[in-house]
Protein backbone atom coordinates (compact mmCIF):
# COMPACT_ATOMS: atom_id res chain seq x y z
CA UNK A 1 0.00 0.00 0.00
CA UNK A 2 1.37 3.40 -1.00
CA UNK A 3 0.53 6.39 1.21
CA UNK A 4 1.61 10.01 0.80
CA UNK A 5 2.04 12.24 3.86
CA UNK A 6 1.29 15.74 2.58
CA UNK A 7 1.60 18.86 4.70
CA UNK A 8 3.60 21.98 5.41
CA UNK A 9 7.01 21.89 7.09
CA UNK A 10 6.57 21.02 10.76
CA UNK A 11 3.09 19.56 10.30
CA UNK A 12 4.20 16.29 11.92
CA UNK A 13 4.88 14.08 8.88
CA UNK A 14 8.11 12.68 10.35
CA UNK A 15 6.54 12.21 13.78
CA UNK A 16 3.60 10.26 12.35
CA UNK A 17 5.95 8.23 10.11
CA UNK A 18 7.93 7.14 13.16
CA UNK A 19 4.77 6.00 14.95
CA UNK A 20 3.61 4.06 11.90
CA UNK A 21 7.05 2.43 11.57
CA UNK A 22 6.90 1.39 15.25
CA UNK A 23 3.42 -0.11 14.98
CA UNK A 24 2.93 -1.37 11.44
CA UNK A 25 4.69 -3.28 8.71
CA UNK A 26 5.87 -0.11 7.00
CA UNK A 27 8.79 1.60 5.38
CA UNK A 28 9.33 5.35 4.92
CA UNK A 29 10.78 7.22 1.97
CA UNK A 30 11.64 10.76 3.12
CA UNK A 31 13.29 12.81 0.38
CA UNK A 32 14.50 15.29 3.03
CA UNK A 33 16.22 12.46 4.96
CA UNK A 34 17.71 11.08 1.74
CA UNK A 35 19.18 14.50 0.91
CA UNK A 36 20.54 14.87 4.46
CA UNK A 37 22.04 11.35 4.28
CA UNK A 38 23.78 12.30 1.03
CA UNK A 39 24.99 15.51 2.58
CA UNK A 40 26.46 13.77 5.63
CA UNK A 41 28.37 11.52 3.18
CA UNK A 42 29.42 14.61 1.15
CA UNK A 43 28.15 13.14 -2.14
CA UNK A 44 27.78 15.53 -5.14
CA UNK A 45 24.01 15.11 -4.83
CA UNK A 46 24.08 16.04 -1.14
CA UNK A 47 26.25 19.11 -1.74
CA UNK A 48 23.98 20.27 -4.57
CA UNK A 49 20.86 19.75 -2.43
CA UNK A 50 22.41 21.73 0.45
CA UNK A 51 22.45 24.91 -1.70
CA UNK A 52 18.65 24.78 -1.80
CA UNK A 53 17.85 23.25 1.59
CA UNK A 54 19.79 25.81 3.63
CA UNK A 55 17.68 28.57 2.06
CA UNK A 56 14.43 26.65 2.44
CA UNK A 57 14.00 26.32 -1.34
CA UNK A 58 13.00 23.13 -3.14
CA UNK A 59 15.68 20.97 -4.74
CA UNK A 60 15.06 20.84 -8.53
CA UNK A 61 12.37 18.38 -9.58
CA UNK A 62 14.38 16.03 -11.79
CA UNK A 63 17.09 15.49 -9.16
CA UNK A 64 14.43 14.74 -6.57
CA UNK A 65 12.37 12.45 -8.83
CA UNK A 66 15.44 10.36 -9.77
CA UNK A 67 16.37 10.03 -6.11
CA UNK A 68 12.83 8.94 -5.25
CA UNK A 69 12.73 6.15 -7.84
CA UNK A 70 16.21 4.91 -6.92
CA UNK A 71 15.01 4.43 -3.37
CA UNK A 72 11.59 3.07 -4.29
CA UNK A 73 13.01 0.49 -6.69
CA UNK A 74 15.59 -0.63 -4.16
CA UNK A 75 12.74 -1.29 -1.70
CA UNK A 76 10.61 -3.15 -4.21
CA UNK A 77 13.25 -5.79 -4.76
CA UNK A 78 13.35 -6.56 -1.05
CA UNK A 79 9.92 -5.84 0.34
CA UNK A 80 6.65 -7.65 -0.24
CA UNK A 81 3.41 -5.98 -1.22
CA UNK A 82 1.91 -6.19 2.28
CA UNK A 83 4.09 -3.33 3.43
CA UNK A 84 2.89 0.23 3.75
CA UNK A 85 5.23 2.51 1.81
CA UNK A 86 5.12 6.04 3.24
CA UNK A 87 6.04 8.94 0.97
CA UNK A 88 7.13 11.60 3.47
CA UNK A 89 7.72 15.01 1.84
CA UNK A 90 7.29 13.79 -1.74
CA UNK A 91 5.70 14.97 -3.99
CA UNK A 92 6.10 18.70 -3.36
CA UNK A 93 5.20 20.11 -6.79
CA UNK A 94 2.61 19.24 -9.43
CA UNK A 95 5.40 18.04 -11.69
CA UNK A 96 6.61 15.62 -8.96
CA UNK A 97 3.01 14.44 -8.47
CA UNK A 98 2.65 13.70 -12.18
CA UNK A 99 6.02 11.91 -12.26
CA UNK A 100 4.85 9.81 -9.32
CA UNK A 101 1.60 8.89 -11.10
CA UNK A 102 3.46 7.92 -14.28
CA UNK A 103 6.11 5.93 -12.45
CA UNK A 104 3.49 4.09 -10.39
CA UNK A 105 1.60 3.15 -13.56
CA UNK A 106 4.79 1.79 -15.14
CA UNK A 107 5.24 -0.38 -12.06
CA UNK A 108 1.57 -1.52 -11.99
CA UNK A 109 1.02 0.26 -8.71
CA UNK A 110 -0.97 3.22 -7.45
CA UNK A 111 -1.17 5.74 -4.62
CA UNK A 112 -3.85 4.42 -2.27
CA UNK A 113 -4.26 7.37 0.08
CA UNK A 114 -2.94 10.88 0.72
CA UNK A 115 -2.96 12.07 4.32
CA UNK A 116 -3.13 15.86 4.50
CA UNK A 117 -2.12 17.56 7.77
CA UNK A 118 -3.99 20.73 8.59
CA UNK A 119 -1.90 23.01 10.88
CA UNK A 120 -1.74 26.82 11.18
CA UNK A 121 1.43 28.78 10.29
CA UNK A 122 1.76 30.02 13.88
CA UNK A 123 1.97 26.46 15.23
CA UNK A 124 4.38 25.40 12.45
CA UNK A 125 6.81 28.19 13.37
CA UNK A 126 6.64 27.34 17.06
CA UNK A 127 7.22 23.64 16.36
CA UNK A 128 10.10 24.03 13.92
CA UNK A 129 12.10 26.62 15.79
CA UNK A 130 11.85 24.42 18.94
CA UNK A 131 12.66 21.16 17.17
CA UNK A 132 15.81 19.21 18.01
CA UNK A 133 16.81 16.08 16.12
CA UNK A 134 19.17 13.18 16.63
CA UNK A 135 21.74 13.03 13.81
CA UNK A 136 22.39 9.34 14.55
CA UNK A 137 18.98 7.63 14.84
CA UNK A 138 16.69 10.35 13.43
CA UNK A 139 14.54 10.72 16.59
CA UNK A 140 12.76 14.09 16.84
CA UNK A 141 12.14 16.17 19.97
CA UNK A 142 10.73 19.57 20.85
CA UNK A 143 12.15 21.86 23.56
CA UNK A 144 8.69 22.41 25.08
CA UNK A 145 6.24 19.84 23.64
CA UNK A 146 8.43 16.77 23.71
CA UNK A 147 11.75 17.37 25.50
CA UNK A 148 14.31 14.57 25.88
CA UNK A 149 14.73 13.14 29.41
CA UNK A 150 18.25 14.59 29.61
CA UNK A 151 18.70 18.02 28.05
CA UNK A 152 20.39 17.89 24.65
CA UNK A 153 20.75 14.08 24.62
CA UNK A 154 18.76 11.55 22.58
CA UNK A 155 16.65 9.21 24.77
CA UNK A 156 16.95 6.43 22.22
CA UNK A 157 20.67 6.28 21.40
CA UNK A 158 22.43 8.76 23.72
CA UNK A 159 23.77 10.98 20.92
CA UNK A 160 23.94 14.76 21.17
CA UNK A 161 20.88 16.46 19.66
CA UNK A 162 21.22 19.15 17.01
CA UNK A 163 19.09 21.94 15.53
CA UNK A 164 18.63 21.64 11.77
CA UNK A 165 20.22 24.52 9.80
CA UNK A 166 16.88 25.14 8.06
CA UNK A 167 14.98 25.46 11.38
CA UNK A 168 16.07 29.09 11.93
CA UNK A 169 13.14 31.53 11.99
CA UNK A 170 13.95 33.20 8.61
CA UNK A 171 14.35 29.89 6.79
CA UNK A 172 11.24 28.43 8.40
CA UNK A 173 9.20 31.39 7.14
CA UNK A 174 10.57 30.87 3.63
CA UNK A 175 9.83 27.12 3.75
CA UNK A 176 6.22 27.89 4.66
CA UNK A 177 5.99 30.39 1.79
CA UNK A 178 7.49 27.86 -0.64
CA UNK A 179 4.95 25.30 0.59
CA UNK A 180 2.06 27.73 0.06
CA UNK A 181 3.28 28.69 -3.44
CA UNK A 182 4.40 25.35 -4.84
CA UNK A 183 3.13 22.43 -2.75
CA UNK A 184 -0.33 23.30 -1.46
CA UNK A 185 -1.77 22.92 -5.01
CA UNK A 186 -1.37 19.18 -4.47
CA UNK A 187 -4.25 19.26 -1.97
CA UNK A 188 -6.62 20.00 -4.85
CA UNK A 189 -4.77 17.60 -7.18
CA UNK A 190 -5.35 14.62 -4.86
CA UNK A 191 -8.77 15.78 -3.71
CA UNK A 192 -9.97 15.60 -7.34
CA UNK A 193 -8.64 12.05 -7.54
CA UNK A 194 -10.79 11.21 -4.46
CA UNK A 195 -7.89 9.85 -2.38
CA UNK A 196 -7.23 12.81 -0.04
CA UNK A 197 -7.96 12.36 3.68
CA UNK A 198 -7.49 15.31 6.04
CA UNK A 199 -6.35 14.95 9.61
CA UNK A 200 -6.14 17.53 12.37
CA UNK A 201 -2.37 17.92 12.78
CA UNK A 202 -2.75 20.14 15.84
CA UNK A 203 -3.78 17.20 18.05
CA UNK A 204 -1.29 15.29 20.20
CA UNK A 205 0.94 12.82 18.28
CA UNK A 206 -0.93 9.76 19.71
CA UNK A 207 -4.27 11.25 18.63
CA UNK A 208 -2.88 12.03 15.17
CA UNK A 209 -1.80 8.40 14.93
CA UNK A 210 -5.31 7.25 15.97
CA UNK A 211 -6.81 9.44 13.23
CA UNK A 212 -4.39 7.88 10.76
CA UNK A 213 -5.52 4.39 11.81
CA UNK A 214 -9.15 5.40 11.31
CA UNK A 215 -8.40 6.68 7.81
CA UNK A 216 -6.52 3.49 7.04
CA UNK A 217 -9.56 1.49 8.19
CA UNK A 218 -11.74 3.41 5.72
CA UNK A 219 -9.75 2.15 2.73
CA UNK A 220 -9.07 -1.42 3.93
Interface residue list for ligand AP5 (CB under 6 A): 7, 9-15, 30-32, 35, 52-53, 56-59, 64, 89-90, 92, 96, 127-128, 131, 140-142, 145-146, 166, 175, 203-205, 208
Nearer to ligand AP5, 56 or 86 (CB): 56
105 tagged catalytic: no
Q: Select which of 19, 50, 127, 164 is catalytic.
A: 164
Catalytic annotation on 42? no
Q: Give yes or no for a contact between 155 and 148, defined as CB atoms under 8 angstroms apart.
A: yes
Looking at the Cβ atoms of 79 and 177, the one nearer to ligand AP5 is: 177
In whole angstroms, how close is the CB of 195 to ligand AP5 at the nearest point? 18
Q: Is 92 a catalytic residue?
A: yes
Q: Give catalytic status of residue 19 as yes or no.
A: no
Neighbours of 32 (CB within 10 A): 19
Rounded-to-integer distance, Cα 39 and Cα 44, Å: 8
- DSSP characters for 144-200? TTB--SSTTB-TTT-PBPB--GGGSHHHHHHHHHHIIIIITHHHHHHHHHT-EEEEE
Residue number with CB closer to ligand AP5 (1 or 132) = 132
Q: How far is the CB of 47 from ligand AP5 (least distance, A)?
A: 13
Residue 2: partners with Cβ closer than 8 Å, 6 or more residues away: 84, 85, 87, 104, 109, 110, 111, 112
| DSSP bridge pairs for 117 | 199
How many angstroms from the chain centroid is the CA of residue 129? Answer: 17
For the chain, the residue count is: 220
Query: Which one of 36, 71, 92, 197 is the catalytic residue?
Result: 92
Which residue in the shown chain puts its C-beta closest to ligand AP5?
A: 32
- As measured in angstroms, the least distance from the Cβ of 104 to ligand AP5 is 16
Minimal distance, residue 183 CB to ligand AP5, in Å: 8
The nearest distance, CB 45 to ligand AP5, in angstroms, is: 12
The residue among 90 and 190 lying less far from ligand AP5, judged by its C-beta, is 90
* Residue 66 to residue 122: CA distance in whole angstroms: 34
Q: Is 107 a catalytic residue?
A: no
E strands, the chain, in order? 2-6, 26-30, 84-88, 113-118, 131-133, 140-142, 196-200
Cβ distance to ligand AP5 smaller for residue 15 or 80: 15
Q: Which active-site residues does the annotation give?
A: 13, 92, 131, 164, 175
Amino acid sequence: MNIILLGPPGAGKGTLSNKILENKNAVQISTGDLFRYNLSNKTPLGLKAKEYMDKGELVPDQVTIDLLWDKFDSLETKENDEKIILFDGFPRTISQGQALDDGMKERNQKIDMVIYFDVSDEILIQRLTGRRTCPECGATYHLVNNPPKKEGICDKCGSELIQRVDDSIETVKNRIEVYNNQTSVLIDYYSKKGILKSIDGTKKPDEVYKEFENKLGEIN
